[in-house]
Structure 1
Amino acid sequence: MRSPIPFIHCVVVLLALLCSTMASAQPAEAQGTDYRALAAALEDEHTRRVVIEELRRLDALSPSEELAPLPPAEELAQEAPSGQSAEQVSFARRMAAFTSGLAGSMGGQLASAGQALSRLFASSDSSSSVKVDFSGLWSAVFNLAIIALATFAAFFVLRRLSGRAYSALNDWATAGSERLTMVRTIVAVSVAALVDAFVVAVAYLLGQAVSVQLAEYVGANGTRLSLFLNAFLIIELIKVGLRTVFANRYPALRLAPLDADQAAYCNQFFARLVGAVGYGILVLVPIINFNVSPALGSALSTAITVVAAVYTAIVVIKNRVTVRQRLEARSTAIGGSSGSLVYVLAKVWHLLVIAYALLVVAVTLVQPATALPFVVFATLKTLAYAGGGLLLLVILRQLIGKEIHLSEGLNASMPLLQARLNTYIPTALKLVRLLLIIGVVVMSLDAWAVFDLAAWYASAQGSSTVSALVDILIILAVAAAVWIALASAIEHRLTPSADVEPAAAARATTLMGLFHSTLAIVIVVMTTMIALSEIGVDIGPLIAGAGVLGLAIGFGAQKLVQDVITGVFIQLENAMNVGDFVDVGGNSGTVDRVGIRSVALRDLYGTYHIVPFSSVGAVSNFTRDFGNHIGEYGIAYREDIDFAIEQLKAAFEELEKAEIGENILAPINVMGVVALADSSVNIRVQIKTKPGMQWAVGRAYNRLVKLYFDKAGIEIPFPHTTLYFGEDHQGNAPAANVRISDRANVVSTQE
């Protein structure tokens, strides 16, 4: 059983001929009845001949030539003698069936074209001959030549007059600061494209005016003239886009990173290709179809496509090395993953272009009537999407590469804000770049009918996916903004000034790290939960599980929780800082590190102590605000106390004049006699010093006190020992064995 496609095609041809006949040949009052118009169309000899020729061409086609897509596996499974299922039909067999159909289609088109040419040049008395009105054909060609000459003349004159506008835009784009170069370039290129499109539109309108005059005074067919004018409008607007990318005369209006010669070469190549294919298929082929034979027109359309593909392949092969070198240099300049992709593209770009040209030829051979318009519009859409995406990628790459600089005041109050902005904003722009690439790919697939974007978005799954993606992006943006704002506020509040003491700076650094860590954990957890809820994940069990886990951790790690909480309050109360000498948990030493759950001390012997905050009952800080040296000096009972106090004050006066005296904050405070000890009278003094300097000042003062007491002859008591050898009943002492030693020998005597 034959496919119904030829019948449908025939109906479409009849309707098209009917519409064209009703629009151009029939009077206005005859367009009201469809049956009358259809009868009039069939009575016309030329229309009837075209329909008969189309029916003969469709009858000559084989079923394999009528089906363009890859044969379904179900059809091949039905033809299999082995009875294999559709799932068992291999892709190789389907490709073989497709190529077989492609070869059959090519043979069918060549056969149809041969039959049309044979009937065209057959003898006039043959029943199969096709009569061609050469006089009408030459008249149509002459009228088209007139309208083409008038339209192109108007177009070139207007282009010449608009040259000053392009030159002014080029000068404006190159002037000004470098920071706004991209913005000025985009504005200048957009305005230049609008001016160029306006020139094309004006030339098109002038051509329409000339076509009206030709139709009125010469009797030219307005439909044929409109064929050319519509083709002119479409092709020249495409060339406007080409001139936007490859403007060779105005470098500032050129989007492609090429020099003038390379831009001119690319512009000429694409302009020739678009002009030849466009005017051939949109003008010449319809005229051949209408006046000679649809089979011949189809063969001509295929020949134009094949010639264009061969020409493209030749140019690509000729320039493959030059383009490859430029792309490799570009990949080196870009670097990273993008540079790697550009490097791979440099190696295979010519193969991709040739494969695309072969694909266009194959689709044209399989479906000559509908494939080429689809390919053209899909290609234009893809180029438009890729060009717009590439332009945005260039802008994003320039924005990513630019570093943000804040004022000195902001850097002083919030020192990490500039680094944070230079980290998060480029990351966000990279995410936008990735989404842009995905969008270009999806829209390009939609242009080639591989993916129906509109239908997918109209479905519940598509709309929910897009909505969830947008919500997640907004959530991430808000979370980043909240983090930047709160972290900057913490830095502004805790960042010490330049003249602050080292202790305060250390405390601020510790608190800043603690608050940053806590804030980051809270924001990450909340953002993750909200994002999961947006994509449809039920976060109720997660929250419940987190609560149970937190409760278990709380019971199992009470000490850890106590360490953290105690450490937070110790830091908030500024109990100790790095560099302080403290006594905590039974250990004394200099604070080496203050963490979230413990403090590290280094004692005088160099021993490193780690004391958890849970074991800290009290903090004794010896280096907070100021220090006191408390000294007790004993003198003999026979010494004058007031004279000794005068010597203590004299020693302090000399201490103040010494280098270490700069650490003394107040005059000496003689607190008086504090004890009448067993062998001495103890006098206590107090010297107020800078924090941490009380021990050094005390050591220096003790030295001076010893010197002054010795000079004044004041005795500093020390323990005395009396040896008693005992007595007998007569009062005589026993003999003592005394040894007198010197450096040479030892002499023993007895008494």
Structure 2
Amino acid sequence: MRQFLLLPLYLFVLLLGAMPTAIASEQTQQEESYRILADILEDEQSRTRFIEQLRLMADGQSPEQSTRDVASEEEVPSLARQLASNTQNVAQELVQKVGEGLQAIWQIRSIVSDNGWLSTLSLLFSLSIVIATTLLLFWGLRLAARPLFARANLLAAPGRGPNLMLRRVVAVTVSTLLDVAIVLLAWVTGYVIALFVVGETGKMDVTESIFLNAFLLIEVFKVLIRTVFADKDDELRLLPMCRETAIYWETWLFRLSTIIGYGMLMIVPLINVTISPVLGQFVSIVVVIIAFLYALVVILQNRSPVRNQLMLMAGESNISLFRVSLGMLARSWHVLAILYFAILAIALLLRPEDALPMMLKATFQTIVAVGLGIAFTKVISHFIKKPLTIPEETRQSFPHLEDRLNAFVPTVFETLRIIIVVGVIAIILDAWSIFNLATWLGSDAGINTILTLLTVSAILITASLLWIGLASWIEHRLNPLASNREPSPREKTLLTVFRNAASIALVTVTIMVVLAEIGINIGPLLAGAGVLGLAIGFGAQKLVQDVITGVFIQMENGINAGDIITVAGMTGVVEKLTIRSLSLRDVSGTYHLIPFSSVDTVSNFMREYAYHLGVYGIAYREDIDEAISKLQDAFAELLEDPEQRENIIEDDLQVDGVVALNDSSVDIRVRIKTLPGKQFAVGRAYNRLVKQHLDRAGIEIPFPHMTMFFGQEKDGSSPAGALRLLADDGASHGNPAQPSDSTDAEQDSTK
């Protein structure tokens, strides 16, 4: 690591050592070129070729172009060769610049004496007055504005009122604008001092203009740094870090920007103007090397702390895109930082006249894009985390509207956040001339892409809002609290089926319109869908039968949600109906999904009215009329129950009479007319009362039993049965027990 850090220093020493050789070689090359030119003019053939080359140059053509084209066709240099050639050219150019700079240092006395020491000192004195006045005013204004920054920090603090995110955005914006205003005020004051106080009135020396322009650019850049880190105002800080960390990085960036900015934008141009451009080049090389070494040391010292902080932020992020991006940045941030400063150093060394403004513009654009992206992302994250709430009256009318809005709005904000990230990346690429954003936006492709994205977004948002409105309206119609009435089963069924069909139609139409907007011809798709539908119709006839049967059942009002039906051999309550199937819950709680193609007969217990049909058996010895009387008494008591009374339509018990003479019972059938679906509860209550009344009257309800008897005499008497009872002890020893004296002639045993 130490060798890597000392590598630029070694290079600098080598450049210093090569300086005298470079100067000597330059003088030798000039002498040799004169000698070659004399030889060319002396030789007739060479002189003719030289004249032809001059004429080609007069026509705007390079005399070496044809030779170079032929050479390029014959041999294309490899990437390694090109890299070696470019590196060699860079090294030679740096050696030449260092040599010329050191030579200018040796000749500085003669250069300054030629321009005049007095004029130089006068320029420096006037410049020092402008510098001192501008900087003192700038520092004084910042000190006077310190209470305003403190108030902005209090405005953005939590616990100062509602709308924390809005207050923080306003506070950061106001503080940034105030900081920029202080810089502009000091800059304008410096111009006033330079024009009307120092030197000739109304005229400004170029050195003063150089300083003021450098002051404006560098201090505005420092304003951005203060906006991001805000070392004195914790609530205005854009990046999540403690005050000590913010102070460290802000101080480091201030030092680096001061070294590079004032060194390249003020000191080097001043040397170019007052002393020598060659010496200015040499000073620029020294400034760049110092700045690069300083940045390299700081980056390597903070490699692990910054990586740990970024990994911690990645672990706390709830967004997968940010989590992955922060994780990748944590592992490679130091490489990107070193690459950035290396590119900056090389650009400053090779093109010092326009490299720094270009790098400052690109860096400024990158920082602004990232800062605005972070700010907008935080605002969007705030709205995502804060759910929408609707008034209580609206929630009662539309119970699921709030849930739908809280599912739709975050999705829109997530999409907007992705668009912001893509936009930030595009602006960064444009800043570093990798991608020309303005040209792309002005081109047909860019305009068409933007319009297509806006149109597709509008279509998707409109479709989503239509679905939310449709689903909420259906929910409102099915909500008894909203309409002050219980929706009918038919209304529930039709609205549920309509919601399913509308969702399918809306999704299909939305997809087709979106495909048409992005440039896909949907005509062949529709034709292909028709052919595919025909093939599916032949290959999936059951599916078609499901849909057609379901449509006709709904048209005939055969089944509604909540009905008790019997279909496909199963009985239960209908929970859900679609265009191809129904969901059934039986009495044991089992859920059945039955396609309509399996439905051949529908038995609905919920149409207009129903009957409890009861068949009650009595013994053959009982009086039928007395039994019917007790059944009517049980019905009369049932009518006295207010809970069951409202479920019974007719007050008379329909007695159908004796319907069967079975092996052991006489069956009497009765019917009770009830509301649809209430026959089961009424029947259970009536069966309970029938049992009680028949028991109190001594009327036997037959049950399966068997009578045993041992023959019968001719006169009808039954003889006594001889039974042998085997005792446990006797049976265990093989001794039969003694027969009993007598037994009953007839014993009943119940099975």
Q: 1:345 aligns with which of 329, 341, 347?
A: 329
Question: In structure 2, how many angstroms separate the alpha carbons of the residues matched to 1:144 and 1:363?
Answer: 29
The answer as to whether partners of 2:478 and 2:487 remain within 8 angstroms in 1 is no
Assess, with a 3 A threshold, how the Cα gap between structure 1 residues 80 and 362 changes in structure 2: closer, same or farther.
farther
Question: In structure 2, how many angstroms separate the alpha carbons of the residues matched to 1:360 and 1:676?
Answer: 108
The answer as to whether partners of 1:496 and 1:504 remain within 8 angstroms in 2 is no
Where do residues 218-257 of structure 1 align in structure 2 (5 Å cutoff)? 222-257=205-240
**Unpaired segments ≥5 residues, structure 2:** 1-25, 31-63, 705-713, 725-742, 746-751
**1:114 alignment counterpart:** 102
Please state how far the C-alpha of 1:215 moved relative to its aligned partner: 4.6
- Secondary structure of the residue that 1:537 maps to in structure 2? coil
- Secondary structure of the residue that 1:288 maps to in structure 2? helix
Spell out, residue by residue over 1:176-203, the C-alpha distance to the aligned partner (whole angstroms, 9 max, x if none).
6665111111111211222222222222
Moved more, 226-235 or 339-348: 339-348
Spell out, residue by residue over 1:191-236, the C-alpha distance to the aligned partner (whole angstroms, 9 max, x if none).
1222222222222222222112345459985222122122222222
**1:470 aligns to 2:454 (yes or no):** yes
Tell me which amino acid in the other structure corresponds to 1:703: K
**1:545 aligns to 2:528 (yes or no):** yes
Please state how far the C-alpha of 1:688 moved relative to its aligned partner: 3.7
Q: 2:192 aligns with which of 200, 204, 209?
A: 209
Moved more, 338-347 or 639-648: 639-648
The answer as to whether partners of 2:583 and 2:593 remain within 8 angstroms in 1 is yes
**1:438 alignment counterpart:** 422
**1:425 alignment counterpart:** 409
Tell me which amino acid in the other structure corresponds to 2:571: G
**1:589 alignment counterpart:** 571
TM-score, normalisation: structure 1: 0.75
Q: 1:371 aligns with which of 341, 345, 355?
A: 355
Moved more, 285-294 or 590-599: 590-599
Spell out, residue by residue over 1:599-634, the C-alpha distance to the aligned partner (whole angstroms, 9 max, x if none).
466889999987543565663322557642244679
**2:45 alignment counterpart:** none
The answer as to whether partners of 2:311 and 2:327 remain within 8 angstroms in 1 is yes
- Secondary structure of the residue that 1:284 maps to in structure 2? helix
**1:98 aligns to 2:72 (yes or no):** no
Tell me which amino acid in the other structure corresponds to 2:672: Q
- Secondary structure of the residue that 1:174 maps to in structure 2? coil
- Secondary structure of the residue that 1:449 maps to in structure 2? coil
Number of aligned residue pairs: give it. 651
**1:67 alignment counterpart:** none
Question: In structure 2, how many angstroms separate the alpha carbons of the residues matched to 1:390 and 1:400?
Answer: 15
Tell me which amino acid in the other structure corresponds to 1:432: L
**1:196 aligns to 2:179 (yes or no):** yes
The answer as to whether partners of 2:477 and 2:483 remain within 8 angstroms in 1 is no
**2:5 alignment counterpart:** none
Question: In structure 2, how many angstroms separate the alpha carbons of the residues matched to 1:95 and 1:485?
Answer: 64
Please state how far the C-alpha of 1:501 moved relative to its aligned partner: 12
**1:29 alignment counterpart:** none
The answer as to whether partners of 2:630 and 2:694 remain within 8 angstroms in 1 is no
Spell out, residue by residue over 1:460-497, the C-alpha distance to the aligned partner (whole angstroms, 9 max, x if none).
22222222222222222222222222222222223465
**1:686 alignment counterpart:** 672
Assess, with a 3 A threshold, how the Cα gap between structure 1 residues 97 and 502 changes in structure 2: closer, same or farther.
farther
Assess, with a 3 A threshold, how the Cα gap between structure 1 residues 549 and 85 changes in structure 2: closer, same or farther.
farther
Q: 2:137 aligns with which of 154, 160, 163?
A: 154
- Secondary structure of the residue that 2:114 maps to in structure 1? coil
**2:442 alignment counterpart:** 458
Please state how far the C-alpha of 1:555 moved relative to its aligned partner: 5.3
**1:318 aligns to 2:306 (yes or no):** no
Spell out, residue by residue over 1:698-751, the C-alpha distance to the aligned partner (whole angstroms, 9 max, x if none).
53355346436645x9x99x9xxxxxxxxxxxxxxxx99999795838999xxx
Please state how far the C-alpha of 1:158 moved relative to its aligned partner: 2.0
Please state how far the C-alpha of 1:352 moved relative to its aligned partner: 1.6
Moved more, 533-542 or 399-408: 399-408
Question: In structure 1, how many angstroms separate the alpha carbons of the residues matched to 2:744 and 2:196?
Answer: 154
Question: In structure 1, how many angstroms separate the alpha carbons of the residues matched to 2:499 and 2:285?
Answer: 69
Assess, with a 3 A threshold, how the Cα gap between structure 1 residues 672 and 85 changes in structure 2: closer, same or farther.
same
Question: In structure 2, how many angstroms separate the alpha carbons of the residues matched to 1:607 and 1:520?
Answer: 28
**Unpaired segments ≥5 residues, structure 1:** 1-55, 61-73, 719-734
Question: In structure 1, how many angstroms separate the alpha carbons of the residues matched to 2:213 and 2:350?
Answer: 27
User: Percentage identity across aligned positions?
Assistant: 35
Q: 1:144 aligns with which of 127, 130, 136?
A: 127
Question: In structure 2, how many angstroms separate the alpha carbons of the residues matched to 1:267 and 1:694?
Answer: 84
Assess, with a 3 A threshold, how the Cα gap between structure 1 residues 606 and 142 changes in structure 2: closer, same or farther.
closer
Please state how far the C-alpha of 1:557 moved relative to its aligned partner: 4.6
- Secondary structure of the residue that 2:377 maps to in structure 1? helix
Please state how far the C-alpha of 1:645 moved relative to its aligned partner: 5.1
**1:723 alignment counterpart:** none
Tell me which amino acid in the other structure corresponds to 2:81: R
The answer as to whether partners of 2:612 and 2:680 remain within 8 angstroms in 1 is no
Where do residues 32-43 of structure 1 align in structure 2 (5 Å cutoff)? none
Where do residues 4-403 of structure 1 align in structure 2 (5 Å cutoff)? 86=76, 89-121=77-109, 131-174=114-157, 179-216=162-199, 222-335=205-318, 336-403=320-387
Assess, with a 3 A threshold, how the Cα gap between structure 1 residues 100 and 571 changes in structure 2: closer, same or farther.
farther
Spell out, residue by residue over 1:382-411, the C-alpha distance to the aligned partner (whole angstroms, 9 max, x if none).
111111112212222222222333344444
Assess, with a 3 A threshold, how the Cα gap between structure 1 residues 593 and 170 changes in structure 2: closer, same or farther.
closer
Structure 1 vs Structure 2 CA RMSD: 4.5
**1:414 alignment counterpart:** 398
Spell out, residue by residue over 1:407-432, the C-alpha distance to the aligned partner (whole angstroms, 9 max, x if none).
44444443433333333322222222
Tell me which amino acid in the other structure corresponds to 1:148: I
**1:744 aligns to 2:726 (yes or no):** no
**1:482 alignment counterpart:** 466
Assess, with a 3 A threshold, how the Cα gap between structure 1 residues 678 and 440 changes in structure 2: closer, same or farther.
closer
TM-score, normalisation: structure 2: 0.75
Please state how far the C-alpha of 1:280 moved relative to its aligned partner: 1.9
Spell out, residue by residue over 1:98-150, the C-alpha distance to the aligned partner (whole angstroms, 9 max, x if none).
2222212211211221332344357x9xxxx9834332222211111111111
